[in-house]
Amino acid sequence: MALNVARETVAARKTRARAIARGLAKTYPDAWCELDHRSPWELIVATILSAQCTDKMVNQVTPALFAELPTPDALAAADPARVEELVRRTGFFRQKTKAIQAVARAVVSEHRGQVPDSMESLTALPGVGRKTANVVLGTAFGQPAIFVDTHVNRLSNRLGLTVESNPDRIERDLQGLLPPKEWTHFAHRLIHHGRRVCFGPAPLRAWTGLGCSGRARRRSASSPVPAGSHLRECSVRAREPTSESGG
């Protein structure tokens, strides 16, 4: 039965959120950032390049980029035309070149070549918003962080964990539902589910515990439902937790 999220108690929503988090952990135990990186610097650059581009394509581009320009100093000093050529396949390559070189210059001049590890300092970097900062803080620095991309935005609403559309407000709502130690894993797992099962206009037949509103579509070889999932028509916007959804 659908739930009126606006009238749900905070305690009840926390119970559902934690059941969803347990189910995500059971279904996607190894889900993590899909952007290849070896350092906070590589992650911040890869995250900027991922705008309007798939992680798969970014991962094809960054090895050559970092092999030739491995540090903020090297990227800041590089010929923009060469950087454009290296990142061309990610799309919007001129804007992205300006963005990553601006970040590189700021990291060099203001932080001695080291990516800062605070929200205030990261968002002070040119072109770095709260989502990118949270990705870096949670993934590279191990700090509790919830990053609200298009998947987290969509699924958190479909699952009845928020009624907001503003990413900052969604972040605040999700933070209030889960303990900080779970934030980063929860965000990565929700993104994983959104990319593989619960698509935008028409989610797949999805695992019961993460029921999402919308019509179902057939599975495809490129987006399989995880092995062991329980399949059912996605029809729930905010479902009461069951023993099955509790993981």
Query: Active-site positions?
Result: 131, 149
What Å distances lie between residue 157 and 160, 177, 213, CA to CA? 5, 14, 10
Q: Where are the alpha helices (DSSP H) in the chain?
A: 10-27, 40-49, 55-68, 72-77, 80-87, 93-111, 119-123, 130-135, 150-158, 167-177, 183-196
- Give backbone dihedrals phi and psi of 220, rounded to 5 degrees, phi first: -130, 160
d(CA 105, CA 95): 15
DSSP codes, 10-61: HHHHHHHHHHHHHHHHHH-TT----S--SSHHHHHHHHHHTTTS-HHHHHHH
Q: Tokens representing 32?
A: 């993590």
Give the dihedral sign, CA 199/203/206/211: positive
d(CA 6, CA 13): 10
